[in-house]
């Protein structure tokens, strides 16, 4: 109360005596002496004016996101408990006021670790352990705070100690994977050369300023002219503001900058993961752990400006209403909350809106999360493409066709137009010409969600003039995500053709797009540009490098750095980053290909061969290393070995068109066996009928076979489809 009285007295004095203009007052606030690190004042300075919000926040998931391990924060049973899960033996115990776990791994190694921090509360609690070089690792064994038992995430998997997924490795590293979204004003401080961290935060949990931004200027405002409308704080009232506040931590995304800045435009800090089939079902429904925002961007809710706070209390994290009352804020009860709409008995689980329109699944073992794309069930898609549908979620013993028949009976034979049909189509192989034209229209149709159109662009290959014309329209899209993915598709063009596109986008208003332009121009010599172009180009390239170094603590980030330096002909630096990528994740197979290539460029064919042989042993079901070794054998004039490797690659993957193409080229140029060459290139064209390289080789084969009409016909088709 003493603090509040002092605040009120100070406010009265300042307001009554202040004769400066508002503009001068803003300047005074902005230039006020900084008393707190980075301007973060802590929630203890917020509570005197915001007691209600503080009460709601207290003991929420945000408040308890991370805490020092002690008797009041640790929920797990450390009372001399021994447990074996998936071949790993654990002994949980206390020593005075500290918590310990003895871990006996599946390979027989045994270590004792002290628990230093708790992570989360419900439905599970994880535990952090301090490691060397500033790293904190998340223990694999986890406490189920609902059923009160120890369990394993990835249940049933026996993860070896050298696997990237093992809890001591990068996939479970707090600094990289978790820290930014569990503490306030986190600075990761990763040192690339030493592979070490000096991670800091202002406050251990997700406190007021994590969302509202540093509060020092707001306190100065409150103590100077609280009637002024510039609160010097992020309010988070509009959908745009809430997206920028919530999405950074509730999205599967890549970082563009080293550290999170509250309230800054999302696509100036992050790139959302597209809804591709690596992480989502083909229709866009959640599959892998996707953290809500990628789903929400697909929804009609998002398109109609619905905000997070329309359903969730932003301080307690709880839903604002129970059951269908939540949806009835917008959807009229008498229309939607009736048997005429949902065809199920009223006031049952089956009649709940969320069970038809927000299906979900468990992540992290026991954490049930719902899909936020708010879609209408489509069992007809399930019949054709094996996508999930809400009907089967309850009627497990029935077929997808059974569910589709009921939907047809209730709603008729036609389904409402939905982006998911195009999304599924874009993920298919060997689509027809008419389907491709439909997709080229889809990517620029603004009635569909931007994230789905960006995904379709990412899924498709581009080779013809007509396809590139559609892509050029996408470069002007209002969505930065669409512009970014459209830019990357121009990488198939020669550098001189790309640069006119690059120079139009290196000064885009959004950082994500500027980075895309820089990616499109990797390896380009900026000295060929005028001063203005050069300045813009260098700025975008610096932003690209900042993004890559900001992700260098990931194995994939190191691989991308290696690729970057390889494309810039800095082979030694590329090799250094590739080696670190494999040190972080020995099963990141694309690195083997790129590292072998780097050694080959240096003329070190022995090491290149060794790398590919390691890869073959680690991934015996992949034909890719055999294909690459074949190319190296061709360079070494070991043609018989090369042909054997290509045939092995095809045996492993019968649709490997690159191996077919190289065999066809060998038989055409080297062995002079036109018939064999024709067989292999025709096989390749069955898989990729529009590939111009394959068509051109077939034209040459026909020419040399004495079939000039067939040859000329192909050449004319290729000329007609060339981008202008």
Annotate 89-117 with three-state secondary structure.
EEEEEEECCEEEEEEECCCCCEEEEEECE
**pLDDT above 90 as % of the chain:** 91
Nearest to residue 199, comparing CAs of 174, 168, 234?
Answer: 174
Predicted pLDDT of residue 690? 86
Closest CA to 631 of 597, 664, 603, 677: 597
Residue 33 has pLDDT above 80, yes or no: no
| pLDDT reported for residue 313 | 97
3-state DSSP assignment of residue 322: coil
**Separation of alpha carbons 502 and 258, rounded Å:** 24
**Integer-rounded Cα radius of gyration of the chain:** 29
With cut-offs at 50, 70 and 90, classify the pLDDT of residue 228: confident
pTM: 0.89
Q: How confident is the model at residue 10 (pLDDT cuts 50, 70, 90)?
A: very low
Read off the pLDDT of residues 106-129 as tens digits, 9 standing for 90 and up.
999 999 999 999 999 999 999 999
pLDDT digits (tens, 9 = 90+) for 529-563: 999 999 999 999 999 999 999 999 999 999 999 99
Cβ contact 125:141 at 8 Å: no
57: Cβ contacts below 8 Å, ≥ 6 apart: 43, 63, 207, 208, 315, 316
Structure confidence by residue, pLDDT tens digits, 470-509: 999 999 999 999 999 999 999 999 999 999 999 999 999 9
Q: Check if the beta carbon of residue 151 is closer than 8 Å to that of residue 140.
A: no
Q: Both tokens of residue 671? A: 């062995």
- Other beta carbons within 10 angstroms of residue 447's beta carbon come to 8
At 301 the three-state DSSP class reads helix
Residue of 135, 179, 171 whose CA lies nearest to 153 = 171
Query: What b/e sequence results for 420-432 when a residue is b if at least 16 CB atoms lie within 10 Å of its CB, and e otherwise?
Result: bbbbbbbbeeeee
> Tokens standing for 335?
């229309």
pLDDT band, residue 723 (cuts 50/70/90): low
In order of 213, 537, 633, the CA distances from 224 in angstroms are: 19, 44, 76
Whether the ω angle into residue 531 lies within 30 degrees of 0, i.e. cis, is no
Does the pLDDT of residue 425 top 60, yes or no?
A: yes
Reported as a single tens digit per residue, the pLDDT across 261-307 is 999 999 999 999 999 999 999 999 999 999 999 999 999 999 999 99
Of the pLDDT bands very low, low, confident and very high (cuts 50, 70, 90), residue 34 is low
* pLDDT band per the 50, 70, 90 thresholds, residue 415: very high
Position 615 pLDDT exceeds 90 = yes
673-718 confidence digits (pLDDT tens): 999 999 999 999 999 998 999 999 999 999 999 999 999 999 999 9
Mean of pLDDT values over 137-141: 98
Domains and CATH numbers, the chain: 2-60+208-233 (no CATH), 66-197 (no CATH), 268-422 (no CATH), 443-688 (1.25.40.10)
Residue 9 pLDDT > 60, yes or no?
A: no
Residue 408 falls in which region: left (phi positive, over 0), alpha (psi -120 to 50) or beta: alpha
On the question of pLDDT at 16 being above 60, the answer is no
Q: Provide φ and ψ at 7, rounded to 5°.
A: -60, -45
| Cα distance between residue 450 and residue 459, in whole Å | 14
Separation of alpha carbons 280 and 286, rounded Å: 5
Structure confidence at residue 463 as a pLDDT band (50, 70, 90)? confident
Sole residue written with tokens 């192909």 = 714
**Cβ atoms 219, 7 nearer than 8 A:** no
Task: Give dist(CA 470, CA 482) in Å, integer.
Answer: 12
H helices within 656-707, ranges in order?
A: 657-669, 674-687, 692-704
β-pair type (81-85, 66-68): unpaired
Statement: residue 387 has pLDDT above 60: yes
Lowest mean pLDDT among 16-20, 224-228, 321-325: 16-20
**What pLDDT score was predicted for residue 484?**
98
CA 327/CA 312 separation, integer angstroms: 12
Contact 724, 465 (CB under 8 A): yes
- Give dist(CA 152, CA 626) in Å, integer: 37
Helices (H), 480-637: 480-488, 495-505, 511-520, 531-550, 555-567, 571-584, 590-601, 605-618, 624-635
């Amino acid at each position: 109360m003493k603090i509040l009285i002092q605040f009120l007295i100070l406010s009265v004095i300042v307001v009554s005596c202040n004769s400066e203009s508002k503009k001068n007052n803003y300047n005074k606030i902005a230039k006020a002496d900084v008393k707190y690190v980075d301007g973060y004042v802590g929630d203890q300075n917020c509570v005197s004016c915001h007691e209600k919000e503080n009460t709601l926040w207290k003991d929420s998931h945000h408040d308890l996101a991370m805490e020092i391990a002690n008797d009041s924060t640790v929920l797990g049973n450390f009372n001399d408990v021994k447990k074996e899960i998936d071949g790993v033996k654990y002994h949980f115990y206390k020593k005075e006021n500290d918590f310990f776990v003895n871990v006996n791994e599946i390979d027989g190694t045994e270590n004792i670790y002290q628990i230093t921090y708790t992570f989360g509360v419900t439905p599970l609690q994880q535990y952090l352990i301090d490691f060397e070089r500033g790293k904190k690792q998340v223990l694999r064994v986890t406490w189920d705070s609902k059923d009160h038992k120890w369990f394993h995430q990835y249940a049933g998997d026996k993860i070896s100690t050298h696997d990237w997924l093992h809890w001591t490795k990068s996939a479970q590293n707090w600094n990289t994977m978790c820290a930014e979204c569990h503490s306030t004003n986190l600075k990761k401080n990763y040192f690339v050369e030493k592979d070490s961290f000096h991670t800091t935060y202002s406050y251990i949990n997700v406190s007021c300023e994590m969302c509202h931004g540093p509060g020092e200027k707001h306190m100065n405002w409150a103590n100077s002219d609280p009637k002024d409308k510039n609160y010097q704080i992020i309010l988070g009232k509009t959908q745009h503001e809430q997206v920028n506040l919530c999405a950074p931590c509730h999205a599967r995304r890549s970082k563009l900058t080293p550290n999170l800045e509250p309230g800054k435009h999302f696509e100036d800090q992050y790139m959302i993961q597209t809804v591709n089939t690596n992480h989502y079902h083909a229709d866009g429904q959640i599959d892998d752990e996707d953290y809500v925002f990628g789903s929400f961007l697909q929804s009609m809710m998002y398109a109609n400006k619905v905000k997070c706070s329309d359903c969730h209390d932003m301080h307690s994290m709880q839903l604002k209403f129970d059951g269908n009352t939540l949806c009835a804020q917008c959807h009229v009860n008498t229309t939607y909350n009736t048997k005429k709409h949902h065809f199920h008995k009223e006031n049952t689980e089956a009649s709940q809106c969320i069970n038809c329109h927000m299906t979900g699944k468990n992540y992290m073992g026991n954490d049930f999360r719902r899909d936020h794309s708010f879609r209408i069930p489509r069992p007809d898609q399930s019949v054709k493409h094996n996508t999930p549908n809400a009907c089967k979620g309850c009627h497990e013993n029935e077929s997808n066709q059974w569910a589709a028949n009921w939907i047809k009976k209730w709603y008729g034979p036609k389904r409402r137009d939905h982006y998911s049909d195009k999304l599924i189509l874009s993920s298919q192989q060997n689509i027809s010409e008419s389907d491709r034209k439909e997709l080229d229209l889809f990517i620029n149709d603004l009635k569909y969600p931007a994230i789905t159109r960006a995904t379709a662009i990412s899924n498709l290959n581009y080779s013809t003039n007509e396809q590139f014309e559609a892509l050029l329209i996408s470069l002007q899209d209002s969505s930065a995500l669409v512009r970014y993915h459209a830019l990357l598709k121009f990488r198939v063009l020669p550098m001189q053709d790309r640069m006119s596109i690059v120079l139009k986008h290196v000064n885009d208003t959004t950082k994500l797009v500027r980075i895309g332009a820089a990616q499109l121009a990797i390896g380009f010599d900026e000295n060929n540009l005028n001063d203005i172009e050069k300045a813009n180009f260098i700025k975008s390239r610096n932003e690209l490098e900042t993004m890559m170094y900001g992700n260098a603590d990931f194995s994939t980030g190191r691989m991308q750095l290696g690729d970057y330096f390889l494309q810039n002909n800095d082979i030694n630096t590329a090799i250094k980053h590739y080696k670190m990528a494999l040190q972080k994740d020995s099963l990141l197979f694309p690195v083997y290909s790129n590292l072998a290539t780097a050694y080959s460029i240096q003329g070190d064919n022995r090491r290149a061969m060794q790398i590919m042989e390691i890869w073959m042993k680690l991934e015996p079901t992949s034909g890719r290393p055999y294909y690459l070794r074949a190319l190296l054998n061709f360079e070494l004039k070991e043609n018989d070995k090369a042909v054997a490797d290509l045939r092995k690659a095809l045996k492993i993957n019968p649709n490997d068109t690159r191996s077919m193409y190289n065999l066809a080229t060998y038989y055409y140029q080297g062995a002079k066996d036109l018939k064999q060459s024709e067989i292999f290139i025709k096989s390749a064209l069955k898989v990729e009928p529009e590939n111009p390289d394959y068509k051109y080789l077939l034209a040459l084969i026909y020419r040399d076979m004495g079939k000039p009409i067939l040859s000329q016909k192909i050449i004319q088709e290729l000329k007609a489809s060339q981008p202008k």
